[in-house]
Amino acid sequence: MKSTIISFSIFVLMLFCIIFSINYLNTICTKLQDSNIKVEKSIQSSSWKEAYENSQNFMEEWEKYYPKLSIFSDHNEIEDISNESQKLLQHIKHKNSEESLSSANVIQNSLKHIREMQQLNIQNLF
């Protein structure tokens, strides 16, 4: 009986931790996606100074959340976002709108993929 109670308690604790981590991951990804959308909109409006500032803000947020995201998700996705954000900053600096929008889109898709991979569903369990 005692082992059943302990096992059940550990199971419930684990469920709470999983739910908390998924919610936290969704919050982080949403903040980063919103920041990336600001960069994308400023690129589309050819406001390069604003795009550069928004890109730097994205980089600061990314550096802040990078260690926490690496706990929850695939390191390849994390590396892709890091590399593309560096490329994005350089493309904005050289006012290359096509490449800037492409890098912003890759970042957006990678963040979306991280969120999708961490959802609780049958596909991710098996």
Cα–Cα distances (Å) from 75 to 20, 45, 103, in that order, read: 21, 33, 18
Q: Domain residue spans in the chain?
A: 48-126
Q: Write down the pLDDT at residue 53.
A: 94
> How far apart (Å, rounded) are the C-alpha atoms in residues 95 and 51?
10
- Which 3 state secondary structure label does DSSP give 51? helix
Distance of CA 122 to the CA centre of its chain: 22
Q: Write down the pLDDT at residue 124.
A: 60
pLDDT in tens, 33-61: 999 999 999 999 989 999 999 999 999 99
Residue 95 DSSP symbol: T
Helix (H) or strand (E) holding 36: helix 2-44
- State the residue for tokens 């936290």: 24
pLDDT in tens, 47-105: 999 999 999 999 999 999 988 888 878 788 889 899 999 999 999 999 888 999 999 99
pLDDT in tens, 111-126: 999 888 877 666 665 5
* pLDDT of 19 higher than 90: no
> How far apart (Å, rounded) are the C-alpha atoms in residues 124 and 79?
21
